[in-house]
């Protein structure tokens, strides 16, 4: 069987029929290498018998130049990315339709372009005139962003090859159409192929690429999940539609911490950064209210205070309602069970509603104690002091487990005018802050400390 080789340029990826010293397409010298297709091996022989290319090996101690990050100049975005944009990185921004992804990325593109970087914004959803209208509303028509309204991937890649921008934004990946794939735009194979082509092309050329992906509930078009593994960073833009707050959350980041959040507010002039989210999430609190407890949490690297609200009401239903917004419903069930089994506080026959104010989602187990406090406070109609914060993880035995970064939580609470805190006692010594810390061993001790003898 004849040996079938192809000659591929390592600089631009174009394949040639024969070897040459210089690639005709990109003009690079000595970049063409011979590649033997794996399938070219004689039939019946193992992979090892077919000739491949020798892979370059290196040691762990090899020295690389430090990453040169570029800042967008939007602090909340830069922090979520782990300190700015890494060159030649691929970022996926997912979120529900209408949540503000296009707005955020147009603003980011504008901020980046104003620093003299070359930015291309490719929209497959809106016409250039619509994007200009949005830019006008965002007061950024002067930013030198280049626009394209296009869905054909081949044309987009050719344009990128000619333009060589620092950053390209693809809005959205589900509208892109790769003509070598037979299925319709938005299908899994199209979305995968388009994301693969764009990310690998961008990596080869040192272009950073941001892909916008719609999250879909009905499954009609492929969600961003199918491409999460291909990109370096995955950000989700979340928020309640009726609320003006939006949270940008890093769920995967090869260049920084995951779980970092950036907080924005949607206004008539676009997204505004919220640099002190605690003040914003607590803004509607004035006097002590039963069922409302402030949790001192940590989101990523930053302490954030949030208000946890609970409502307990007699249920007309055979199976009472358990409604949770912003927290895990399985975790609520666990806390209700621990309260019943370990402390004798039952919620049978009662509807329980739990809400994290401000539209933020909390996933820290450290919120357990604050949730339990809100539930008991609502059940007993007994308010906790308005100037106290609560944190601690509850174990199934009813004991309180230590949690991370107590000092940062307390400092943030002090900054916002809180005077006391309830925290697990089994914690390493906490550095002194201006907050009066009540240390409690277990849930029963906490209840006695906060609510005294419970009436039945
Ligand atoms: P958009 O960025 O188009 O959402 P996505 O790209 O995630 O689908 O945001 C659309 C919503 O944002 C729309 O309902 C209007 C609102 N909006 C504002 O409130 N203020 C603004 O300045 C802009 C541009 C949009
Ligand atoms: Mg959009």
The CA-based angle 218-123-239, given to 5 degrees, is: 50
pLDDT(48) > 60:
no
Instruction: Give the mutation target among 95, 98, 104 for probing the ligand 1 site: most ligand atoms within 8 A of CB.
Output: 98
Closest ligand 1 atom to the C-alpha of 138? 22
* Residue 52 within a domain: no
263 & 187 share domain = yes
Give the model confidence (pLDDT) of 409-456 as tens digits.
998 898 888 999 999 998 777 777 788 999 999 999 999 988 876 655
User: What is the distance between the alpha carbons of residues 351 and 316, in angstroms, rounded to a whole number?
Assistant: 9
391 & 286 share domain = yes
Closest ligand 1 atom to the C-alpha of 137? 22
Which residue is closest in CA terms to ligand 1's atom 23?
270
Instruction: Give the mutation target among 95, 98, 99, 100 for probing the ligand 1 site: most ligand atoms within 8 A of CB.
Output: 100
269 & 287 share domain = no
Domain final position from 275, 309, 327: 275
- Which range in 181-190, 274-283, 366-375 is most confidently predicted, on average pLDDT? 366-375
What is the overall mean pLDDT for the chain?
A: 87
334 & 270 share domain = no
Q: Which two tokens stand for residue 129?
A: 């005139």
211 CB contacts (<8 Å, ≥6 apart)? Answer: 90, 91, 92, 93, 170, 172, 173, 195, 198, 199, 224, 227, 231
* Residue 451 within a domain: yes
* Residue 58 within a domain: no
322 & 258 share domain = no
**Percent of the chain clearing pLDDT 90 (strictly above):** 57
Ligand of minimum distance to the alpha carbon of 172: 2
314 & 401 share domain = yes
Ligand of minimum distance to the alpha carbon of 268: 1
Which residue is closest in CA terms to ligand 1's atom 9?
100
Which residue is closest in CA terms to ligand 1's atom 14?
98
Residue count of the chain, please give it: 456
269 CA → ligand 1 middle, Å: 10
217 & 335 share domain = no
148 CA → ligand 2 middle, Å: 14
184 & 79 share domain = yes
24 & 103 share domain = no
26 CA → ligand 2 middle, Å: 34
Site residues for ligand 1, CB cut-off 6 Å: 95, 97-103, 134, 137-138, 266, 268-270
Domain final position from 252, 275, 298: 275
Give the pLDDT mean for 28-50. 58
**Percent of the chain clearing pLDDT 70 (strictly above):** 91
308 & 268 share domain = no
Ligand of minimum distance to the alpha carbon of 246: 1
107 CA → ligand 1 middle, Å: 12
Q: Which domain holds residue 315?
A: 280-455
Which residue is closest in CA terms to ligand 1's atom 13?
98
Nearest to 77 by CA among 304, 233, 227, 278: 233
Give the model confidence (pLDDT) of 142-167 as tens digits.
999 999 999 999 999 999 999 999 99
User: What is the distance between the alpha carbons of residues 393 and 404, in angstroms, rounded to a whole number?
Assistant: 10
Q: Which has the minimum average pLDDT: 221-230, 335-344, 439-448?
A: 221-230
Ligand of minimum distance to the alpha carbon of 104: 1
> How many domains does the chain divide into?
3
* Residue 141 within a domain: yes
* Residue 65 within a domain: no
* Residue 68 within a domain: no
CATH number of the domain at 309, please.
3.30.230.10
404 CA → ligand 1 middle, Å: 37
Beta-ladder partners of 439: 423
* Residue 110 within a domain: yes
* Residue 48 within a domain: no
212 CA → ligand 2 middle, Å: 8
Domain final position from 259, 275, 291: 275
151 & 299 share domain = no
Torsion angle (degrees, nearest 10) of CA 279, 284, 287, 291:
-100
177 & 92 share domain = yes
């Amino acid at each position: 069987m004849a040996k079938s080789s192809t000659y591929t340029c390592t600089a631009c990826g174009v394949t040639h029929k024969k070897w040459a010293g210089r690639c005709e397409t990109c003009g690079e010298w000595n970049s063409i290498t011979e590649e033997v297709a794996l399938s070219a091996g004689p039939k019946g022989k193992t992979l090892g018998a077919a000739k491949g290319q020798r892979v370059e090996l290196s040691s762990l101690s090899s020295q690389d130049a430090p990453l040169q990050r570029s800042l967008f100049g939007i602090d909340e975005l830069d922090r979520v990315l782990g300190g700015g944009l890494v060159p030649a990185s691929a970022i996926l921004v997912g979120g529900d339709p209408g949540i503000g992804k296009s707005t955020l990325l147009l603003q980011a593109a504008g901020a980046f372009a104003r620093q003299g970087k070359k930015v291309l914004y490719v929209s497959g959803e809106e016409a250039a005139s619509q994007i200009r209208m949005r830019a006008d509303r965002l007061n950024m028509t002067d930013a030198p962003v280049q626009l394209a309204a296009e869905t054909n991937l081949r044309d987009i890649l050719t344009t990128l090859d000619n333009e060589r921008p620092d950053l390209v934004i693809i809005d959205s990946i589900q509208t892109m159409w790769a003509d070598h794939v037979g299925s319709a735009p938005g299908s899994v194979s199209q979305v995968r192929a388009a994301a693969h082509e764009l990310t690998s092309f961008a990596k080869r050329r040192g272009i950073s690429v941001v892909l916008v992906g719609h999250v879909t509930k009905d499954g009609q078009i492929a969600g961003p999940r199918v491409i999460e593994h291909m990109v370096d960073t995955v950000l989700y833009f979340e928020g309640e539609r009726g609320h003006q707050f939006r949270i940008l959350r890093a769920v995967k980041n090869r260049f920084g911490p995951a779980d970092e959040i950036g907080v924005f507010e949607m206004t008539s002039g676009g997204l505004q950064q919220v640099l002190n989210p605690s003040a914003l999430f607590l803004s509607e609190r004035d006097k002590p209210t039963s069922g409302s407890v402030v949790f001192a949490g940590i989101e990523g690297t930053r302490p954030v205070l949030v208000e946890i609200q609970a409502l307990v009401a007699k249920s007309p239903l055979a199976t009472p309602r358990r409604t949770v917004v912003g927290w895990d419903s399985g975790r609520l069930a666990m806390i209700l069970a621990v309260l019943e089994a370990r402390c004798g506080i039952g919620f049978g026959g009662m509807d329980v509603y739990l809400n994290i104010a401000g539209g933020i989602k909390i996933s820290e187990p450290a919120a357990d104690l604050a949730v339990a406090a809100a539930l008991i406070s609502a059940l007993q109609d007994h308010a906790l002091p308005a100037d106290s914060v609560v944190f601690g993880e509850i174990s199934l035995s009813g004991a309180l487990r230590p949690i991370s970064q107590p000092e940062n939580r307390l400092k943030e609470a002090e900054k916002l005018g809180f005077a006391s805190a309830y925290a697990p006692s089994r914690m390493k010594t906490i550095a002194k802050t201006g907050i009066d810390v009540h240390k409690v061993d277990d849930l029963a001790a906490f209840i006695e400390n906060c609510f005294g003898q419970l009436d039945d």
